[in-house]
């Protein structure tokens, strides 16, 4: 059966443009957000408002959430007036948040008992990718459900990969955050060294980004950082949440991740300065403070 009616819960920096892209793709989209004012721009684009996640589910074939953490997903999916209360048998719930793999598996199991199938489908690409519809989406769950929902996912992302059973999407997202965090640190150290050597960091970024050391972080976030633009595409506080999930998962499997632990500590420096709502490019200041050079 073709999917025509899609719901979206959580209209933050990522969720709002993702929902907008579903509308642009021609889906009928029903939305809900804990802060109702955030629904207004989507309603102006043609979205339908709902009073709860349950109402979103009752009006749609597939519901999607993009919220902050594991407890939020549990509340949206299984809490009072949650997805499970409004979903008819056969409904599919897609969670695009970043949460613990074990939480994703548990929520999927509990929803299955109520006739609802779940895909854990965390995303990568930041606000830029969410707006452009070019997100990378890593999906855990049953293959036939993934295949059926692929047109929905394609409205929001460009690289969409089924990576395994329930929880696998979240495990891959944690791997993504390991690589992303270390790329942020590499970016910050390169900028620090350029400044210390008296080199214009903008020129350094221009040439290094074009070579073997180039990265998304260097191309997209480094220019913001050297301009002093710390507006969040992805907030430090959210990255720290993800890194805690990374380190918890690593502890369970006795996997040493010394680089990720260091990035976590550097972001704690940023948070200690009251800048947890800044974008992750703020790590450049943590490295700069370590150098303690006046005017650097």
Q: Which two tokens stand for residue 111?
A: 């929803």
Q: Kindly report the CA angle at 38 between 36 and 41, in degrees rounded to 5?
A: 120
Q: What's the farthest any 2 CA atoms get from each other in the chain?
A: 64
Nearest CA among 173, 178, 166, 160 for reference residue 69: 173
DSSP secondary structure letters along 167-187: THHHHHHHHHHHHHHHHHHHH
CA 62 from centroid of its chain's CA atoms: 19
Q: Kindly report the CA angle at 115 between 111 and 120, in degrees rounded to 5?
A: 40
Catalytic: 173?
A: yes
Cβ-proximal residues to 4 (8 Å cutoff; 6+ apart), any chain: 27, 28, 61
Is residue 45 within 8 Å of 29, Cβ to Cβ? no
Which of 24, 158, 173, 241 is catalytic? The answer is 173
Nearest CA among 113, 50, 58, 49 for reference residue 83: 58
CA distance 288 to 296: 7
CA distance 287 to 278: 15
Is residue 19 within 8 Å of 48, Cβ to Cβ? no
Nearest CA among 66, 70, 78, 59 for reference residue 34: 66
CA distance 255 to 232: 30
Active site residues: 173
């Amino acid at each position: 059966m073709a999917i025509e009616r899609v719901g979206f819960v959580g209209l933050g920096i990522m969720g709002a443009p993702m929902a907008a892209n579903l509308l642009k793709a021609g889906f009928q989209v029903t939305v809900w957000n804990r802060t109702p004012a955030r629904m207004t721009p989507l309603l102006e684009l043609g979205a339908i408002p709902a009073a709860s996640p349950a109402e979103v589910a009752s009006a749609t074939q597939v519901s999607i959430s993009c919220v902050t953490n594991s407890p939020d997903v549990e509340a949206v999916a299984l809490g009072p007036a949650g997805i499970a209360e409004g979903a008819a048998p056969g409904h599919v719930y897609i969670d695009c948040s970043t949460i613990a793999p074990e939480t994703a598996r548990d929520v999927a199991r509990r929803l299955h008992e109520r006739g609802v199938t779940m895909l854990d489908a965390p995303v990568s690409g930041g606000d830029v990718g969410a707006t452009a519809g070019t997100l990378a989406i890593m999906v855990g769950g049953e293959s036939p459900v993934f295949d059926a929902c692929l047109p929905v996912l394609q409205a929001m992302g460009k690289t969409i990969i089924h990576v395994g059973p329930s929880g696998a999407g979240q495990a891959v997202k944690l791997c993504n955050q390991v690589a992303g965090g270390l790329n942020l640190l590499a970016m910050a150290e390169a900028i620090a060294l350029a400044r210390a050597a008296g080199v214009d960091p903008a020129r350094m970024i221009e040439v290094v980004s074009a070579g073997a050391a180039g990265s998304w972080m260097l191309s997209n976030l480094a220019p913001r950082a050297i301009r002093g633009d710390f507006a969040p595409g992805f907030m430090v506080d959210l990255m720290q949440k993800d890194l805690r999930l990374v380190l918890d998962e690593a502890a369970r499997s006795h996997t040493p991740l010394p680089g990720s632990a260091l990035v976590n500590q550097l972001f704690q420096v940023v948070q200690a300065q009251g800048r947890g709502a800044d974008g992750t490019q703020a790590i450049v200041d943590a490295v700069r403070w370590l150098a303690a050079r006046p005017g650097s």
